[in-house]
Structure 1
Amino acid sequence: MLIHGDPLSGNCLKVKYTADHLGLRYGWQTVDVSSGGTRTDEFLAVNPMGQVPAVTLDDGRHLAQSNAIIRYLARGSGLLPDDAYLQAKVDELLFWEQYSHEPYVAVCRYQMKYLGKPREEREGWRVERGERALDFMDQQLRSKDWFVGTDCTVADIALLAYTRMADEGGFDVTRRNNIIRWIKRCEEKLAIAARH
């Protein structure tokens, strides 16, 4: 398998975390998004949507969209529960992450880290929704260790990638103790070095 991605992108890191945890063999093709790497004919042949991450599977087929990729990779593993209802609960969070978390937490990070905007210049409505998403996560983790079931799933991986870098977007997760403990659990389970 070949992963086409940006190693600093949370969406790309989701795929890396999943593949590494599952012990999958893969190559990494770095795509420089800022210099138009997703707009080349070569890349568009892999993903006509022009976004990273994308993967080229061993049989030559391609798959895009981070949450679709990690769900595909996780089939038959402990990262995706066997129970149909729990799988649907995982999907529920994968959809929520892309609609109610990533557009706010990740975009604020992009604006600060890559565009060099100061924290004070973040869009107020985006910050408010990002804070709301992080509060929701903290509340959900109040009485459980993982988002779905009794162990780490791709729902946790999907939410981990940008949440553990939320400070780079001006968000303070240190006051959300449930999230802090969950990040540590995820880092230990997935063998990811702690950031701080």
Structure 2
Amino acid sequence: MLTLYDYLDSGNGYKCRLLLALLGIAYTRVELDIDRGETRTPDFLQKNPNGRIPTLQLDDGTCLAESNAILCWLADGTDYWPAERLARAQVLQWLFFEQYSHEPYVATPRYILRHLGRDHPRMAEMADRLKRGHAALAVMDTHLQKHDFFAAGRYTIADIALYAYTHRADEADLDLAPYPALRTWLARIASRPGHVKMLPED
């Protein structure tokens, strides 16, 4: 059985949990508290030398890191990962966008606020990060004004990757009110059959 090393408050971990639920794949989940250094133990570093979650351990013991790589592996052979060449490249385009232009400016401000607090020195980063976060959200909203999903004309792992932290943007002090197409897309994703929420209290 697959084992997912995870942290519940992580959007990157949630991406994997969401796709596993949509695919109906049984797995074992191991919670590791990143704030307590539980991903930096010698045992875990043997599984992922980068010391990060999520990490997916396959049936043969191989460990796969990086959330979007895990999504690609899980989705292979399903409708969530297109077979057509251009559609697949477009999915990858949005996966790269999510990690380079979105995650540092949506997920990181959320982490600073939820885990470090408003009196932490890293608050000095917030103005620039939020400016870039709004820029990323604007790119997404512009695309969604003409498309229901991000690639292939259907729900793919591009949507899963971008949904994870976007639907928690308020926790990063990012107001979604200026992005109506984005808000409509969030509701569309949340209403999909098999959808699961990120946290038990949601």
TM, length-normalised to structure 1: 0.95
Instruction: Tell me if structure 2 keeps the 8 A contact 1:90–1:148.
Output: yes
| Residue 187 (structure 1) shift | 1.1
1:45 aligns with: 46
Amino acid at match of 1:169: A
| Residue 84 (structure 1) shift | 1.2
CA distance in 1, matches of 2:177, 2:75: 30
1:56 aligns with: 57
CA distance in 2, matches of 1:102, 1:13: 13
Instruction: Tell me if structure 2 keeps the 8 A contact 1:111–1:122.
Output: no
Q: How many residues align?
A: 195
The one-character-per-residue Cα deviations of 1:60-85 (angstroms, maximum 9, x if unpaired) are 11100000001110000010111011
2:13 aligns with: 12
Amino acid at match of 1:147: F
Which fold has the larger relative contact order, with Cα–Cα distance below 8 Å and residues 6 or more apart in sequence? Answer: 2
- Residue 159 in structure 1 maps to residue 169 in structure 2: no
- Residue 180 in structure 1 maps to residue 186 in structure 2: no
| Residue 51 (structure 1) shift | 0.7
Structure 1, 151-160 or 183-192: larger mean CA deviation:
183-192
Partner of residue 145 from structure 2, selected from 134, 142, 145: 142
| Residue 192 (structure 1) shift | 2.9
3-state SS of paired residue (1:114): helix
TM, length-normalised to structure 2: 0.92
The one-character-per-residue Cα deviations of 1:115-144 (angstroms, maximum 9, x if unpaired) are 1117x8652211110000001101110011
Unpaired runs of 5+ in structure 2?
none
1:192 aligns with: 196
Q: CA RMSD in A?
A: 1.6
2:33 aligns with: 32
Partner of residue 134 from structure 2, selected from 131, 134, 159: 131
Structure 1, 186-195 or 101-110: larger mean CA deviation:
186-195
Amino acid at match of 1:177: P
After superposing on structure 2, the runs of 4+ consecutive aligned residues of structure 1 that deviate more than 2 Å are: 120-123, 192-196
1:169 aligns with: 172
The one-character-per-residue Cα deviations of 1:30-74 (angstroms, maximum 9, x if unpaired) are 011111111101111111111111010112111000000011100
Amino acid at match of 2:105: Y
3-state SS of paired residue (1:55): strand
